Amino acid sequence: MNTTTNIDDDILLSRYQEHVLVITLNRPEARNALRNQSLREITTALHAAASDDTVRAVVIHGSQTVFAAGADIKEMAQLNAISALTDSRPEFWKIISAFHKPLLGAVNGYALGAGCELAMHMDIVIAGENAKFGQPEINLGTIPGAGGTQRLIKAVGKALAMKMVLSGEMINAQTAMAAGLVAEVTSDDTTLERALTLACTIAAKSPLAIRLAKEALLLSFEMPLSAGLNAERKSFSLLAASDDRNEGIAAFLEKRKPLFLGK
């Protein structure tokens, strides 16, 4: 890993190889609870990464024992109905969900409440074998507030989403993988390494094709099939105008590795 910078307090930023930005959630004293400042720092980092051509993928991780324990309950306690409505958090979540480059989560330990919701904002989650996912807001007399009801049901289906949100019970990494919440389960000590390797694999592809593939896949949550298929075909056609697509096909025919420049 290259240089690590502490951009404020709640996250650390570093580079892995040339093209992977690594965001480390770093509030161990609060189990990486995502206070407003944490989300502000994450979105500031993503905003910069969005326009930095040298960043082709982002990996977010926490510690070996906790990814993130949710929204900061002490901060949440200060919110009344009106301040909850005008809070900046929904805008932060929108920025994360609109980030157009691949986002990978390396999840060890607890991913609870907003921590589970952050994991669900990732395009790909790699989980350690002892990871635990949950929406325990019901234990606090409230409900998920950052997409937990909507994204969870799409990710794992009604039966498990209802069980998790209504009971507050956590699920383990194996259940999360079987349900479609995570892409791979690794040993705890290799979770980050696997996410970084996968991020490098993705970073070596055409950034244009990656961008349009991510966009098309996510559109399926918003659109009926026929509109989604149209959008996919348009992006497929658009890529025929890219140097990267010519390079990819030429490299295959010439039996060499392609070099994608994002043009």
In angstroms, what is the minimal distance from the CB of 32 to ligand CAA?
8
Q: Which residue has the tokens 């559109």?
A: 219
Q: Is 92 exposed, middle or buried (0-12, 13-18, 19+ CB in 10 A)?
A: buried
In angstroms, what is the minimal distance from the CB of 46 to ligand CAA?
19
Write the Ramachandran bin of 32: left for phi over 0, alpha for psi from -120 to 50, otherwise beta.
left
In angstroms, what is the minimal distance from the CB of 173 to ligand CAA?
15
Pick from 134, 144, 128: nearest CA to 171: 134
Using the minimum distance from each CB to ligand CAA, give the nearer residue, 77 or 240: 77
Radius of gyration of the chain (CA): 19
Using the minimum distance from each CB to ligand CAA, give the nearer residue, 102 or 147: 147
Using the minimum distance from each CB to ligand CAA, give the nearer residue, 55 or 119: 119
What does the alpha-carbon distance between residue 106 and residue 236 come to, in Å, rounded to a whole number? 30
Using the minimum distance from each CB to ligand CAA, give the nearer residue, 165 or 199: 165
In angstroms, what is the minimal distance from the CB of 66 to ligand CAA?
6
Question: How far, CA to CA in Å, does 209 sit from each of 105, 127, 245, 254?
Answer: 21, 26, 8, 21
Q: Are 89 and 96 in contact (CB under 8 A)?
A: no
SS3 of residue 180 by DSSP: coil
In angstroms, what is the minimal distance from the CB of 146 to ligand CAA?
5
Using the minimum distance from each CB to ligand CAA, give the nearer residue, 56 or 89: 89
In angstroms, what is the minimal distance from the CB of 105 to ligand CAA?
16
The Cβ of residue 4 has, within 10 Å, a number of other Cβ atoms equal to 12
Q: Are 14 and 22 in contact (CB under 8 A)?
A: yes
Q: Under the rule (CB under 6 A), what is the footprint of ligand CAA?
A: 30-31, 33, 66, 69-74, 110, 112-114, 117, 136-137, 140, 144-146, 148
**Residue of minimal CB distance from ligand CAA?**
113
Locate 258 and state its tokens: 């392609």
Using the minimum distance from each CB to ligand CAA, give the nearer residue, 116 or 209: 116
What does the alpha-carbon distance between residue 109 and residue 125 come to, in Å, rounded to a whole number? 13
In angstroms, what is the minimal distance from the CB of 33 to ligand CAA?
3
Using the minimum distance from each CB to ligand CAA, give the nearer residue, 92 or 110: 110
Pick from 43, 42, 51, 52: nearest CA to 18: 52
